[in-house]
Amino acid sequence: MAVLIETPFPSMRQVAKTLGVPAERAKEIERLVEKRYKSGPEDRVLNRRSGNKRGSARSRGGRRS
Amino acid sequence: MPRARKSLFLNIPYDSSFSKLYLAYIAGVSSFGLTPRATLEIPGGERRLDRILTLIRSCAYSLHDLSRVELNRRPPRTPRFNMPFELGLAVSWQKLKRPNHTWFVFEAMPRRAEKSLSDISGTDVYIHNGNARGVFTQLCNAFVRLKSQPTIQDMEEIYGRLADLLPELQARAGASSPFEARVFQDLVLTARALTQR
């Protein structure tokens, strides 16, 4: 039988604290992920997860500049 | 909310042939808003058994992958007892101290766990067939979220990106293997960054 998870998603800061690593390292990882994927055309996970309802220019029928 | 409610003890083998499933577990577990923990993240100096018990106690859930319990190849050929042993510790913790602790058994082959460890007969064993997609499917059978339920595709995307970033994370850590403390922690942080909501 499946277990129901009702807890909210932990913040990056909380995850870092749980793992016992400095918050600054969590920020470094966030920057790395942002740099690698945020502006990429294939960035579906991050945009969807951050509540970007507009989607990419291409999905709205526009052109990427 | 106690921190333990968000953590899952990942009891898996640490060897190169398991590295894809290792990434799959980190991606999948993180997609459910849980923080994977593993014995490899804790620095030495403490007795290993104490470290394992501390980790199990700090987690609401534990996941025990018994798919590599077979004899290892290096002589003298011995079965790998660590995963079933740690499963036993988690079961004891749940039965004797913390009834809320929930443990899961994952395997690659149907009925093998019941054969090699008949004490767990009657327990649901989640069969992942030895591949990442199987791990994601079985995690979806083990866990449900009312809000933000991840899809297999979500998990596959995060998995793909972890695999993509792994060489960089290893280089930053000066690590030759993904099974090193800093790399594991950075993979967990990366997976969380990729599942930002």
- Selected for mutation to probe chain B from A4, A11, A14, A15 (highest B CB count within 10 Å) is A15
Number of other CB atoms surrounding residue B83 within 10 Å:
20
Strand partners, B35: B7
Q: What is the pLDDT of residue B47?
A: 85
| Predicted TM-score of the model (pTM) | 0.88
The rounded distance, in Å, linking the Cα atoms of A27 and A13 is: 8
Mean pLDDT of A13-41: 89
Q: What is the pLDDT of residue A37?
A: 86
Q: What is the pLDDT of residue A39?
A: 57
Domain locations in chain B as residue ranges: 3-194
Q: Are B8 and B63 in contact (CB under 8 A)?
A: yes
pLDDT digits (tens, 9 = 90+) for B68-126: 888 877 888 888 898 999 999 999 999 999 999 999 999 999 999 988 899 998 999 99
Q: How confident is the model at residue A65 (pLDDT cuts 50, 70, 90)?
A: very low
- Selected for mutation to probe chain A from B3, B5, B6 (highest A CB count within 10 Å) is B6
**Mean pLDDT over all residues of chain A?**
73
Least confident stretch, A16-25, A55-64, B118-127, B181-190: A55-64
To 5 degrees, how large is the angle CA A12–CA B164–CA B126?
Answer: 75
pLDDT digits (tens, 9 = 90+) for B25-49: 999 999 999 999 999 887 776 788 8
pLDDT digits (tens, 9 = 90+) for B121-167: 899 999 999 999 999 999 999 999 988 899 999 999 999 999 999 99
Would the CB atoms of B35 and A30 count as touching at under 8 Å?
Answer: no
The ipTM assigned to this model is 0.90
How far B194 CA sits from the closest chain A CA (Å)? 6
CATH of domain B3-194: 3.40.50
